Structure 1
Amino acid sequence: MKALIACEYSRIVSDAFVAKGWDVTSCDILPSEKPGKHYQGDVFDIINDGYDLMIAFPPCTYLTVAANRHIPNNPDRWQKQVEALTFFYNLLNSNIKYIGIENPVGVVSTYIRKPDQIIHPYYFGDNIPKKTCLWLKNLPPLTYAMHDNLFETKTAVEPEYVYYNSKTTKSGKSKYSVLWKLGKGHGHERSKFHQGIATAMAEQWTEYILNNKN
């Protein structure tokens, strides 16, 4: 079976599917960080090359809730958001039977449709709290608890937060995901996809597709 992992240069998800026996091509405008089949360029150059599955991670720079705050009185940023939404829409509606698209909470829910699932990395064994939305086509939501040993996915672990003093809460404390202590200039680290979810995708969706082949 052939899989396209779009907008990925880390090959974290690609390698998880390779481990399950898939013929995987990753694609991004950046070169791959690891060895493997990788197309550097526009995903729509290769999207119709007969893939059975596509997992995509479209850039979220202009799609997040935070990005939306900068839209008023900024026509250039508004135009880039429209382009980002169009890119997302075209991925979701491409001619591939099984599709999963990941993005943070943002404007896709308003302008295209709500996600099929919202998860966190700590549901799958990584201690990071980070809302991760999945838009699915012909794929089931991911399961993050053991189900009769069908899957080897790690069960949930305790999330790690950074606490700070706050005058707006009753306790006097507020919290952020441990990711945000990295601060500005670390967008690459903060956007990195986590291994637990990648493994869950590969294990669970491979099993599902094999059990539902015509």
Structure 2
Amino acid sequence: MAIFHPPCTRLCNSGVRWLAERDLWADMREGAAFFLECLNANAPLVAVENPVMHKYAREIVGRGADFTVQPWQFGDPAKKRTCFWTRGLPPLTATSDMQASEARADCHLASPGPDRWKERSRTYPGLANAIATQWGPLGLKVAA
């Protein structure tokens, strides 16, 4: 099993405006090529995590995400839509009864600064735990 969290800087919808303004098209194509290398990894079970992609990256990748989740679905009171492109893995199942109205949009409201990217790119503990507990046993079966 291979689970990837490749850089999303030039692929994500939130940064699409900079492609033309800063002429970052080559960076975007390079990021999309790396994303595809992850997605096409030589493993029977593959997951690639990224935020919502803009249309230019989607055109190169060739498809949208297989499913999306939110941290609040796994017990973390936060809003941050996270997308997964998968092969051989089922969608993650929510582990919390929390509602979107109980979550904050801290990721999107973070103040500008040198560490903003770190906050915006972090994986919340509840989601990480769901990946480990729901997909981990599947990886062990394949390895056996």
Q: TM-score, normalised on structure 2?
A: 0.84
Tell me how many residue pairs correspond in the alignment.
Answer: 137
Structure 1 residues 118 and 109: CA distance shift in structure 2, 3 A: farther
Residue 160 of structure 1 aligns with which residue?
A: 103
Give the counterpart letter for 2:67 in structure 1. Answer: Q
Q: Provide the C-alpha distance between the structure 1 equivalents of 2:112 and 2:51, rounded to a whole number of angstroms.
A: 18
- Equivalent position to 1:201, from 102, 110, 131: 131
Computing the radius of gyration from Cα coordinates, the structure with the larger value is 1
Residue 108 of structure 2 aligns with which residue?
A: 180
- Equivalent position to 2:15, from 41, 44, 67: 67
Residue 79 of structure 2 aligns with which residue?
A: 129
Give the match's secondary structure for 1:135.
strand
Q: Provide the C-alpha distance between the structure 1 equivalents of 2:92 and 2:7, rounded to a whole number of angstroms.
A: 22
CA contact (8 A) 2:70 2:79 kept: yes
| 1:56-94 Cα shifts (integer Å, max 9, x gaps) | 11111101112222222644x000000000000011111
Structure 1 residues 191 and 156: CA distance shift in structure 2, 3 A: farther
Give the match's secondary structure for 2:48.
strand
Cα deviation for residue 212 of structure 1 reads 6.2
Q: How does 1:26-105 map to 2 (within 5 A)?
A: 53-72=1-20, 74-75=22-23, 77-105=24-52
Give the match's secondary structure for 1:203.
helix
Give the counterpart letter for 1:72 in structure 2. Answer: A
Give the match's secondary structure for 1:61.
coil
The percent identity for this pair of structures is 32
Give the match's secondary structure for 2:91.
coil
Q: Provide the C-alpha distance between the structure 1 equivalents of 2:14 and 2:143, rounded to a whole number of angstroms.
A: 41
Cα deviation for residue 135 of structure 1 reads 0.5
Q: Provide the C-alpha distance between the structure 1 equivalents of 2:142 and 2:8, rounded to a whole number of angstroms.
A: 32
Give the counterpart letter for 2:134 in structure 1. Answer: Q
Q: Provide the C-alpha distance between the structure 2 equivalents of 1:102 and 1:81, rounded to a whole number of angstroms.
A: 17
Give the match's secondary structure for 1:102.
strand
Higher share of residues assigned helix: 2
Please list every run of 5 or more consecutive structure 2 residues that lacks an aligned counterpart in the other structure.
none
CA contact (8 A) 1:109 1:115 kept: no
Structure 1 residues 62 and 122: CA distance shift in structure 2, 3 A: same
Give the match's secondary structure for 1:96.
coil
Greater RCO, 1 or 2 (C-alpha within 8 Å, sep 6+): 2
CA contact (8 A) 1:102 1:133 kept: yes
Give the match's secondary structure for 2:135.
helix
Give the counterpart letter for 2:81 in structure 1. Answer: K
Give the counterpart letter for 2:126 in structure 1. Answer: G
Give the match's secondary structure for 2:19.
coil
Cα deviation for residue 111 of structure 1 reads 2.5
